[in-house]
Chains A and B, each alone.
Chain A
């Protein structure tokens, strides 16, 4: 990695800081976040390195990797940081950035799961697990994923075949569209 004024893109880092309401500059690389992270073993950049890369304006390197999509949002890092760097929120901000850019991610399954989940809220107001799993499997091409669990869950009444819509669906649609509108006008990140 060559660090120069050309490769340090700090304006994006400032956006991450605004979205997450935290400062990456407070981090002194003690590594406590990575020590406690249950998902660090699955990540290419461990949590403390994600912050270091942000300090150096190297956000593209983070987004090209899979770390942000393997964060489970368990909040252990934010809890234990001695400098109050809210890393779990930084991860949220980075995922939003990646989501907006629709840039390369090695973890499209997680993005797809998030997308199906949010589409469900917009359409039905609530989450319907049966639909969530079915649509995810179809869209990810894993038709047989967790197939063995299905009949067991149905027998136990844990999967509902039918569901009703909220009566106040118009309100949820308004929330989604107002947010889109605000972003178009530049009133929200």
Chain B
């Protein structure tokens, strides 16, 4: 029995387009006996649009969420790489800049608490729970599955903020999925931008950037891609068919969330991991590798 307990900040996407990330996170944590309690009435972190045009608003929304998280015992577990980045960026900025901190405290009408740790799920699995401990929980190793680990932008950058792993050559995703028995591929685009929230305003940008990522993963011999961000997932999974059409090619690369692959290796069934919600159907691949 693990005595780890976390406050959980799912973020907006996990309540809609990334429902399978939310489901697989809850199921995996349950299977690993890690406590997870959702922060009541959390707000949107503001994501890119808020800091894009109004940094004070972005900082205030995140500070408010950090305050709300104080109601729940434990460090704050964050699933979405973008929410994770914004919450950590807020802690960092308000710690360094007294003037901004004062403004934010006025905006939320409360003192800012900066001592609570904010952790991405990867960090919890790799560091708090520990890879050795995780290996003990693996009942169905992902033998023969070649995974391209895609970090995207915000899990590691900028260097002084997330403090998750090396900023230019991280290995935390590879270490987690290798602990689950999978193979990882060496590829060029694991930290290149997918086009992020241009998916709404300028989808053409996303199609171009995400194509380069899919192309690189395929060329490296990957069977699938693993991500820790719902926005990256949307761009690589939901738009994959469209990208294939534009570039007259075929990738057929299922895109999994970290928690789905680790959950699978822990023996969780497909319905508990929301595998049917993925747009690029992962079932043929998983059957071929005898992982279901």
Binding site for B on A (CB under 8 A): 19, 21, 38-39, 42, 70, 72-76, 78-79, 86, 88-89, 92-93, 95-96, 99, 109-114, 117-118, 120-121, 125-130, 132-133, 136, 145-146, 148-149, 152-153, 156-160, 166-168, 171-172, 174-176, 178-179, 182, 187-189
Binding site for A on B (CB under 8 A): 12-13, 15-19, 41-44, 46-57, 60-61, 64, 93, 96-97, 100, 103, 106-109, 153-154, 157-159, 167-168, 192-193, 195-198, 200-203, 205, 209, 238, 242, 276-279
Please give, as numbers and ranges, the residues of chain B lying within 8 Å of A133 by CB-CB distance: 200
Residue of A nearest to B168 (CB): A79
A153 touches B238 (CB 8 A): yes
Given A38-B192, A125-B43, A127-B44, residue A74 in contact with residue B61 (CB < 8 A)? no
Please give, as numbers and ranges, the residues of chain A lying within 8 Å of B109 by CB-CB distance: 174, 178
Measured CA separation A19–B100 after assembly (Å): 9
B106 touches A182 (CB 8 A): yes
Contact check: which of B12, B43, B57 meets A129 at CB < 8 Å?
A: B12
Please give, as numbers and ranges, the residues of chain B lying within 8 Å of A42 by CB-CB distance: 205
Measured CA separation A63–B56 after assembly (Å): 21
Q: With contacts defined as CB atoms under 8 Å apart, how many contacts are there between chain A and chain B in the complex? A: 170
Residue of B nearest to A86 (CB): B158
Please give, as numbers and ranges, the residues of chain B lying within 8 Å of A179 by CB-CB distance: 54, 56-57, 60, 107
Measured CA separation A129–B13 after assembly (Å): 8
Contact check: which of A73, A120, A129, A171 meets B52 at CB < 8 Å?
A: A73
Given A76-B153, A109-B201, A121-B61, residue A38 in contact with residue B193 (CB < 8 A)? yes
Residue of A nearest to B192 (CB): A38
A175 touches B61 (CB 8 A): yes
A78 touches B43 (CB 8 A): no
Please give, as numbers and ranges, the residues of chain A lying within 8 Å of B197 by CB-CB distance: 72, 113
B193 touches A76 (CB 8 A): yes
Measured CA separation A54–B201 after assembly (Å): 27
Please give, as numbers and ranges, the residues of chain A lying within 8 Å of B18 by CB-CB distance: 158
Measured CA separation A152–B154 after assembly (Å): 28
Measured CA separation A158–B277 after assembly (Å): 8
Please give, as numbers and ranges, the residues of chain A lying within 8 Å of B108 by CB-CB distance: 175, 178
Measured CA separation A127–B278 after assembly (Å): 21
Please give, as numbers and ranges, the residues of chain A lying within 8 Å of B12 by CB-CB distance: 126-129
